[in-house]
Amino acid sequence: MPGLITMDDLTNAEIISILDDAERLLPVARGELYLPLLKGRILGNLFFEPSTRTRMSFETAMKRLGGDVVNLGDVKSSSVVKGETLFDMIQMVDGYTDIIAMRHPRQGAAQYASDSANVPILNGGDGAGHHPTQTMLDLFTIRRAHGKFEGLNVVLAGDLRYGRTVHSLSHALTRLGCNVTFASPESLRMPEEIVSDLKESGAEVVETDDLFGQIDAADVIYMTRIQKERFPDEDEYAKVAGAYKLHARDLDGAKPEMIIMHPLPRVDEIDPSVDSTRHALYFEQAFNGVVARMALMCRLLNVEVPADVNEAGGVI
Amino acid sequence: MSQEGNMRRVTAIKNGTVIDHIPAGKALSVLKMLGIGGDMSNPVSLVMNVPSKKMGGKDIIKVEDRELTQGELDKLSLVAPDVSVAIIRAYSVAEKLEINLTEEVVNVARCTFSNCITINSREPLPHRLVVTRREPLELRCRYCGKPQDIDGLIDSLL
């Protein structure tokens, strides 16, 4: 059954239609309206590596829609430690659930699971591969802030090599007509195959190591975490991390409507002084994970989101 | 040396398969890819780095008393897609076969990316490399999407 493994699984029209569904589901996500569209359905949450937002927002999304969730729990206390293959694990969970959300440290695990399963798989991150449900919530956040995609200047900054969120996002943004700039240290540049795919599809992408030079023209700055373990020594890390850290004082020349996003967790790359500026949107972005995942689960389970949710829903 | 001279370096075979126009130095990779090794009892002749008008230099393999199948030959598309293959019966060319590069190469080689899910040899699904470009050849793993190191594939043969 089709799932969501990479953004290539959705056409532009499908992306827009799912974002429209998400927009209508906002009162349900906020807990203002009861709309059990997925009553009787069970989500299997298979997180083979740590996750806070993705796992919790999937669980919240399913429960807000009246469905239920089973969790793999701690990998260390599961059959994974006994050497069970992903294939066998999926056969089992496929029988228990109607849809599976998964994260796995190995790249390609989501496609592998999808080829092994009958129920739809939602890729919540596979190694340094893709994270398309994050992309859907990112797109939702951008569209709510700017009302469009076409012509927006979006800067993706930080660790573009290992950051799976920016891999999926860059594909979607260029397809939807955004101008994309990659700002990263030399050693953490966007993987060559992604840049060449984007260029082959006709997108113009700019690569730079200068984040601060991009701020004034940006409509969106998407920050990612630079991980210490990617660097040979602490000094090198400190030097690079400092060049990719935003303070409120750096934003003086920014457009008033420019937004700063981050998939979270942040460590040092956004100073808390930014939180109180009009540009900070990362906490709202994290909330949007619930509504975007609600819309995605409805779509993959072939459940239509009513045109008028207030008429269809009831009080909590 | 003339083309005829090249062919005379080894004797004509009565029955079997001749693989000609192998890029110089790739014959051993071709043998490995076809699973032809020391445990086979059929005579196998190999010439390497002989002059060729068309290619500058080339390798040739002759396998006696064995007609390679189309499926076996298609594996060669990964290392030597332009070879000529002739099936020999009673000292004559009975058939000429072409190598077909299929859309997907299944269970021939494993993905060369070190963090691919297929690295766990106990995972049972087939290894699937998708041809994303023919010239120059580019293959990507169906699962992890990584472009393959074409030269490294020879070490990843199943």
CATH number where B133 lies? 2.30.30.20
Q: Are residues A203 and A159 in the same domain?
A: yes
Whose CA is closest to B12, among B91, B96, B85? B91
Total domains, chain B: 2
Q: Which of B115, B117, B147 sits opposite A193 (nearest CB)?
A: B147
Determine the average pLDDT of the residues in A71-77: 82
Under 8 Å between Cβ of A262 and A270: yes
Nearest to A129 among B118, B125, B145 (CB): B145
Give me the mean pLDDT over the A179-202 stretch.
Answer: 93
The verdict on a CB contact (< 8 Å) between B145 and A107 is yes
The catalytic position among A53, A146, A262, A293 is A53
Please tell me the predicted confidence (pLDDT) of residue B1.
47
Give the DSSP H/E element, type plus range, for residue A141.
helix A132-146
Answer for the pair B8, B130: CB distance below 8 angstroms, yes or no: no
Check whether residue A60 and residue A155 sit in a common domain.
Answer: no
- What is the per-residue pLDDT for B101? 83
Enumerate the β-bridge partners of residue B104: B130
| Average confidence (pLDDT) per 10 residues, chain B, 158 residues | 58 93 90 81 92 91 92 81 92 91 89 94 96 90 94 81
| CB atoms inside a 10 Å sphere around CB A216 | 13
Interface probe with A: pick from B104, B107, B116, B117, most Cβ of A within 10 Å: B117
Q: How high is the pLDDT of residue B4?
A: 54
pLDDT at A261: 98
> Are B89 and B64 contained in the same domain?
yes
**Which residue range forms the structural domain that includes residue B121?**
104-156
pLDDT in tens, A245-257: 999 999 999 999 9
The domain spanning residue A271 has which CATH number? 3.40.50.1370
Residues A122 and A250 in one domain: no
* Annotation says A279 is catalytic: no
Tell me the C-alpha to C-alpha distance, in Å, between residue B67 and each of A38, B15, B64, B75, B151: 59, 8, 8, 15, 27
* Helices and strands in chain B, H and E counts: 3, 8
Rounded average pLDDT over A217-233: 89
Reported ipTM: the value is 0.90
Distance from CA of B102 to the nearest CA of A (A): 20
Indicate if A125 and A163 belong to the same structural domain: no
| Residue A107 scores a pLDDT above 50 | yes
pLDDT digits (tens, 9 = 90+) for A122-175: 999 999 999 999 999 999 999 999 999 999 999 999 999 988 899 999 999 999
Query: Is residue A299 domain-resident?
Result: yes
Residue A280 has pLDDT above 90, yes or no: yes
DSSP letter at A280 equals B
Cα–Cα distance list, B102 to A111, B19, B81, B156 (Å): 21, 19, 11, 19
Average pLDDT of the residues in A35-60: 95
CATH number at residue B51: 3.30.70.140
Contact A222, A155 (CB under 8 A): yes
Considering only A164-173, A181-190, A278-287, B97-106, which range has the smallest mean pLDDT?
Answer: B97-106
Domain count, chain A: 2
Distance separating alpha carbons of residues B95 and A32, to the nearest angstrom: 75
Q: How many residues does chain A have?
A: 316
pLDDT at B153: 81
Same domain, A278 and A161: yes
A88 and A193 inside one domain: no
pLDDT per position as a tens digit, A7-32: 999 999 999 999 999 999 999 999 99
Indicate if B76 and B15 belong to the same structural domain.
yes
Domain of A13, in residue numbers: 7-131+289-312
Residue of A5, A9, A48, A111 to mutate, testing the B interface (most B Cβ within 10 Å of its Cβ): A111
Q: Could B123 and A115 be called an inter-chain contact, meaning their C-beta atoms sit closer than 8 Å?
A: no
- Residue identified by tokens 């000429």 is B96
Task: Note the pLDDT of residue B7.
Answer: 53
DSSP string, A229-240: GGSSSHHHHHHH
